[in-house]
Structure 1
Amino acid sequence: MEREQEELQFLGIGGIFVEAQKMILAWRRIFAKIAVSLIVPLSVIFLLHVEISDRMFAKIDRNEQALEEAPEGSLREERLIDRLASEWASYAAFKAVYLVVVLVLSLLSTSAVVYTVACVYTAKEMTFRKVLTVVPKVWRRLVVTFLWSFAVLFAYNAVALLVLVPTLLLVGTGAGGVAFLLVFVPAYLAGLVYVSVIWHLASVISVLEERYGLAAMEKSKELVKGKAIVACAIFLVFHVGFVGIEVLFRKMVARGRGHGDAARAGFGLVLLLLMSLLVLEALVVQTVVYFVCKSFHHESIDKSSLADHLEVFLGEYIPLKASDIQLEHFRL
């Protein structure tokens, strides 16, 4: 990064994006290698999942409609029931495999990008081979953080349902129910975005500090104070981008058979490129947000200590200790 740490705290949404873009362009070779080896496969799997899921669900939907029209107790009904059971089992198995593969590639991509950005921050010499050496040892810490984040998200949604369902049963779906939903839905979405931001920042902490899991999420919650609006706005920008690409892919490629195979392939390649660039940008930006939050709270990070702890000693990744990364608060 070209800016001194004291200056990072003043970066807003635009400044963070500019800083991330400068970093990607300055180190485009190594980021390109990370993208090709990890992020592009992740994007390919995500987009293929959209098309395969669409086809599988369309087939299930046709068979369910046929089941409704089949005579009750007939041989046709029995065959359709067996076929639907098999198709739903295949769909569930496909989703499970997809989630596992996406999780692994996502964590590996996060590890690689966060480590690379930290090396850039410390002006530490790095190679793509060194990044690949460190990544498998770092991502296991991210797994613990992900599991805790998933547990928090599950609990959040469970509590939301416990509030939503009894309230609607009590007040009904009339004017009172509509008024309640007008308050509940925005509050729920705001909380969901906030928890997601905490999770993403905790992923960076899990790579660069000794904290991981619930401890990383607690530290993330502390760091995001004062920068929550900026962090949430950035998250929404990327989320809208991801949803937009998914919608376009489903419309123009998965369900766009009227456009012709060549046009569909062209749309697919363009959307794959956009998805890969967006994922790379998002991972770099979330790491820059970490340094911005550290600067905002006047938590100085000694670059030489950070560089030392980014090294690989005897094949072991040595994460930063709190004493290294939580140095004395600097005075402006």
Structure 2
Amino acid sequence: METCGISPRKEKHDDPDLQNFELESLEHDHQFRSMSALEILRETVRILRYNSMGFMGIAALLICPVSAVLLSNMLVDQSIVKRLTIKLLLAAKSSGLPLRPFIKQSCQKFSEMVISSTMCFPLYITLSLLSKAAVVYSVDCTYSRKKFDPSKFYVIVTKIWKRLVSTYLWVCMVIIGCLALFLVLLATVSSLFSIIGFNSNSIVYPAMLVGLVFSVMFANAIIICNIAIVICVLEDVSGPQALLRSSSLIRGQTQVGLWIFLGSTIGLAFVEGLFEHRVKTLSYGDGSSRLWEGPLLVLMYSFVVLIDSMMSAVFFFSCRSYSMEASNGEGQSVLEAMAISAVSMDIQ
């Protein structure tokens, strides 16, 4: 029988990186406690340093292909995007919203996002989901003072794949539900103010307020979904149970999760904007700049995705500790906390 979670035993290893990680953990009196977003980032970088080859392998094999397809929009049919954009603009106009350049651009981006997500769904539910599981397993192995074992990971994935896919499908439904709710609320608020007698220019402000409130709610939903994926890898729960467990676990730590989400979103948007401007729009002379700028930006995007997944895993461990401290009134080390909460998985 093998344990997927963290074992409380401290073993000596021949790997100098793991020995250094253990020494640094003792040096810093490392404990799983409530951490700020900056501390989670530092912890993530520390984990990346001591298992850099493993994480870079995950990024190269599993994250980069998805990033390349996503950034290039090679699967997106622009004619479909155009038709969807026109329908959104007509809906916005019928709701009373003025067709300002900002609204037109928002409809265009939303259409591209919907079509891109739909076309890339097979990649999301295979390579992307597998990369998230690999990152969580690698972080868990690092804290367990163990090396990443591909063969053991393969066996573990075969055991947890059904609950992983089930949780991901529920995550997709939550995200789709949030976006649908936003569109309904936006149309309702805009129509209501239009009926009251506000002109189209004034309706923009309550619409922006609805968008601001939705952004915070949507960010919380994404945080819950990200932690739910981590939970279904490390614990024997899936689907709605994982989402409920996640929402309960991050209680009191929502602000930290929001900062993590904000940093990741800004990083991904920045790289995506660079790719749009430097690769899709600009080129030097014969376009040779795309030969090196494109792959470089794909690597940058993949690295941000990797860091985001790692921070979600570290955030889970931090929330676990925070929850235990709140219930027990005392702090526990990372190994003690995970030894209590880890679920054993039978591996033949």
Task: Say which of 226, 242, 249 aligns to 1:200.
Answer: 226
Which residue is equivalent to 1:271? 297
Which residue is equivalent to 1:150? 172
1:264 Cα shift? Answer: 1.2
Cα separation, partners in 2 of 1:161 and 1:211, compared to 1, 3 Å? same
Distance across 2 between alignment mates of 1:5 and 1:125? 22
Which residue is equivalent to 2:49? 25
1:309 Cα shift? Answer: 2.5
- The TM-score with structure 2 as length reference comes to 0.71
Task: Say which of 171, 181, 188 aligns to 1:159.
Answer: 181
Paired residue type of 1:8 = F
1:107 Cα shift? Answer: 0.5
Task: Say which of 123, 129, 151 aligns to 1:107.
Answer: 129
Q: CA deviation digits over 1:180-214, x for unaligned, max 9?
A: 22431111111111101100010000100111110
- The TM-score with structure 1 as length reference comes to 0.75
| 1:115-126 matched pairs, under 5 angstroms | 115-126=137-148
Secondary structure of 1:298's aligned partner: helix
Cα separation, partners in 2 of 1:254 and 1:135, compared to 1, 3 Å? farther
Which residue is equivalent to 1:47? 71
Cα separation, partners in 2 of 1:294 and 1:157, compared to 1, 3 Å? same
Are 1:124 and 1:307, in contact at CA under 8 Å, matched by a contact in 2? no
Which residue is equivalent to 2:78? 57
Which residue is equivalent to 1:134? 156
Secondary structure of 1:313's aligned partner: coil
Are 2:171 and 2:225, in contact at CA under 8 Å, matched by a contact in 1? yes
Are 1:30 and 1:128, in contact at CA under 8 Å, matched by a contact in 2? no
Which residue is equivalent to 1:189? 215
1:8 Cα shift? Answer: 3.0
Distance across 2 between alignment mates of 1:52 and 1:256? 21
Paired residue type of 1:11 = M
Distance across 1 between alignment mates of 2:115 and 2:342? 43
Paired residue type of 1:309 = S
Distance across 2 between alignment mates of 1:269 and 1:31? 18
1:284 Cα shift? Answer: 0.9
Which residue is equivalent to 1:228? 254
Measured on the aligned residues, the alpha-carbon RMSD in Å equals: 2.9
Paired residue type of 2:142 = V
Cα separation, partners in 2 of 1:181 and 1:235, compared to 1, 3 Å? same
Q: Which segment drifts farther, 154-163 or 247-256?
A: 154-163
Which residue is equivalent to 2:347? 313
Are 2:75 and 2:119, in contact at CA under 8 Å, matched by a contact in 1? no
- Counting matched residue pairs gives 280
Which residue is equivalent to 1:215? 241
Distance across 1 between alignment mates of 2:285 and 2:40? 39
In the alignment, structure 1 residue 295 sits paired with structure 2 residue 340: no
Cα separation, partners in 2 of 1:94 and 1:110, compared to 1, 3 Å? closer
Which residue is equivalent to 1:16? 40
Distance across 1 between alignment mates of 2:49 and 2:241? 34
Which 5+ residue runs of structure 1 have no aligned equivalent?
62-91, 315-332
Distance across 2 between alignment mates of 1:313 and 1:305? 20
1:150 Cα shift? Answer: 2.0
In the alignment, structure 1 residue 251 sits paired with structure 2 residue 277: yes
Secondary structure of 1:261's aligned partner: coil
1:151 Cα shift? Answer: 1.9
Cα separation, partners in 2 of 1:140 and 1:45, compared to 1, 3 Å? farther
Are 1:108 and 1:136, in contact at CA under 8 Å, matched by a contact in 2? no
Q: Runs (4+) of structure 1 moved beyond 6 Å?
A: 3-6, 58-61, 92-95, 305-308
Which residue is equivalent to 2:266? 240
Cα separation, partners in 2 of 1:46 and 1:110, compared to 1, 3 Å? same
Paired residue type of 2:203 = G
1:250 Cα shift? Answer: 1.6
